[in-house]
Structure 1
Amino acid sequence: MNYIPQAENCMKKGGRIETIDIAKGLGILFVVWSHAKGPFTPYMYQFHMPLFFLISGFLFNSRNTPAQFLGKKVRSLYIPFVFWNLCSLLITTALHIQEFSDIHLVKKILKIILTLDKDGKFMGATWFLGALFVVSVVYKLMDYYMPSVKGKSIFLVILFGCVAATGFSINFPYLLSRTLILSFYFAIGRAAKEYKEVIYVYHSGILVCFSIILFAIIGHYNAINMAKNTYTYPFLFAIGALLASYVVIYVSEILQKRTIWIKKALIVMGENSISIVIWQFVVFWIIEAVQFKLFGIPFVQLFENYPPYKTTNGWWIVYLIVGAVASMLIGEIISAVKQGIGRVTKKILMKPYKM
Structure 2
Amino acid sequence: MKKKQTAFMKKRRKDYCLVPKKWKNAMNNVMTDENGKLQRDYWNILKGIGAFCVVLGHCAMPVQNFVYLFHVPLFFFISGYMYNEQKYGDAPYDNLKGRMKSWVKYVALYIVYILLHNVLGYYDMLRIDEPLYTKAQMVEQMAYAVIGDGNELLAGPLWFVPVLVIGSAFMGFVIYYSRMLEDRFKSKKIKFLFQGIVIGCSSIVGYLMIAYGWDLPAHMQIAFAVQPYFWAGYLLRNYMSDLEKYIKYWVGIILFLLLAIYSRDHLYSLVDGYVSPIMYLTAFMGFYVCMCLAKGICVLQKSNYLRSLFVKMGQASFLLMGTHFMIIRGIDRIYAGYHQDISMMYEHYLGNHNMLIPLYLVLGIGLPLLLQAFWNRLSKGVAK
Q: Distance in 2 between matches of 1:210 and 1:194?
A: 28
SS in 2 for 1:17: helix
Displacement, 1:249? 0.7
What amino acid is the match of 1:111? Y
Deviates more, 1:237-246 or 1:136-145: 136-145
Question: Normalization by structure 1: what TM-score?
Answer: 0.82
Secondary structure at the counterpart of residue 275 of structure 1: helix
Does structure 2 conserve the Cα–Cα contact (< 8 Å) formed by 1:157 and 1:184? no
State yes or no: 1:92 paired with 2:117: yes
Letter in 2 for 1:134: I
The residue number in structure 1 matching 2:75 is 52
Specify which of 29, 33, 41 is matched with residue 18 of structure 1.
Answer: 41
Distance 2:365 2:280 in 1: 28
Which of 135, 144, 154 lines up with 1:111 in the alignment? 144
Offset at 1:182? 2.4
Change beyond 3 A, Cα 1:281–1:209: closer
Change (3 A) 1:272 1:243: same
Aligned to 2:311: 267
* TM-score (normalizing by structure 2): 0.76
Q: Which residue in the other structure is 2:298 paired with?
A: 256
Q: Which amino acid aligns with 2:95?
A: F
Asked whether the equivalents of residues 154 and 326 of structure 2 are also in contact (C-alpha less than 8 Å), the reply is yes
Q: C-alpha offsets along residues 214-245 of structure 1, whole Å, 9 cap, x if unaligned?
A: 433433343323222123xx121110110111
2:350 is aligned with 1:308: yes
User: Counterpart of 1:45 in structure 2: which amino acid?
Assistant: Y
Residue 71 of structure 1: aligned partner? 97
Distance 1:243 1:95 in 2: 39
Q: CA separation of 1:86/1:303 partners in 2, compared to 1, >3 Å: closer, same or farther?
A: farther
Aligned counterpart for 2:358 among listed residues 313, 317, 322: 317
| CA distances 1:290-317 after superposition (whole Å, capped 9, x unpaired) | 212322235xx7986764353222x012
Q: Which residue of 1 aligns with 2:58?
A: 35
Match of 1:163 in 2: 202
Partner of 2:286: 244
- Aligned counterpart, 1:127: 159
Query: Residues 73-132 of structure 1, C-alpha deviation per residue, up to 9 Å, x if partnerless?
Result: 222x111101111221133257765434666544433321111x1242221111122211
Q: State how far apart, in whole Å, the 2-side matches of 1:206 and 1:155 are.
A: 36
CA contact (8 A) 2:117 2:133 kept: no
CA distance in 1, matches of 2:339, 2:315: 36
Native 8 Å contact 1:218 1:236 kept in 2: no
Over the aligned positions, Cα root-mean-square deviation in angstroms equals 3.0
Cα pair 1:283 1:322 within 8 Å, conserved: yes
Q: 1:230 aligns with which of 262, 265, 274?
A: 274
Q: Distance in 1 between matches of 2:141 and 2:245?
A: 50
Seen in structure 2, the aligned counterparts of structure 1 residues 312 and 303 have a Cα distance that, compared at 3 Å, is: closer
CA–CA separation in structure 1 for the residues paired with 2:120 and 2:278: 45
Report the Cα distance in structure 2 between the residues aligned to 1:219 and 1:16, rounded to whole angstroms.
31
Q: CA deviation at 1:135?
A: 1.1
Is the CA contact 2:247–2:288 (under 8 Å) kept in the aligned structure 1?
Answer: no
Larger Rg: 2
Residue 141 of structure 1 aligns with which residue? Answer: 173
The 1:242/1:183 distance shift into structure 2, 3 A limit, reads: same
Separation in structure 2 between the aligned mates of residue 100 and residue 287 of structure 1, nearest angstrom: 24
C-alpha distance in 1 between matches for 2:295 and 2:98? 27
Q: Structure 1: 5+ residue runs without aligned partners? A: 344-355
Q: Could you tell me how far 1:253 is from its partner in structure 2? A: 1.6
Local SS of the residue matching 1:22: helix
Uncovered stretches (5+) of structure 2, i.e. residues with no partner:
1-23, 123-130, 183-187
> 1:124 & 1:226 partners in 2: Cα distance?
13
Paired position in structure 2 for 1:82: 107
Letter in 1 for 2:214: F
